[in-house]
Amino acid sequence: MKSIVAIVLGVVLTGLAFGQTANERVMPANFRSDNCTWFPDGNYADCCVEHDKDYYFGGSLKKRKASDKRLRKCVRSKGKGWKRNFLANGMYIVVRLGGVSFLPTPFRWGFGNKWPRKSPEKPKSNCEVRCELIEIE
């Protein structure tokens, strides 16, 4: 019974500790963005710079997809009409296909991290955390 209480307490405390962690990322002084890689720099260049910042740090595949969707939404918000929608959707398709983390390109997902990387790290599931706690005892 004591071990079950210890495990539950450990999981709860771990969750609280991770919940209070700052989510802010600090860009290095030498970070440079090329604005919109392979696309003309329009009034949406700031969208591309924010997207480059996400790509610099990388992360999970879920974060990459969310970053790409933010880029598409931001580019759409900078104009109207079918041309802007075409541009936003085209950018989305290009970054989804070309921004994979396993290619040694300067615009890959996680380009600020050392290459080669096998794949983006997957977050540990609750089961894995609990199993680690059990092994500690």
CA 132 – CA 10 distance, rounded (Å): 10
What would the pLDDT profile of 36-83 be if each residue is shown by its tens digit?
Answer: 888 887 899 999 999 999 999 999 999 999 999 999 999 999 999 999
CA 125 – CA 105 distance, rounded (Å): 31
What would the pLDDT profile of 74-100 be if each residue is shown by its tens digit?
Answer: 999 999 999 999 999 999 999 999 999
For residue 93, count other CB atoms closer than 10 A to its CB: 12
pTM of the predicted model as reported, rounded to 2 decimal places? 0.66
Domain boundaries, the chain: 2-136
CA 89 – CA 67 distance, rounded (Å): 14
pLDDT band at 19 (very low <50, low <70, confident <90, very high): very low
Q: What is the model's pLDDT at position 77?
A: 96
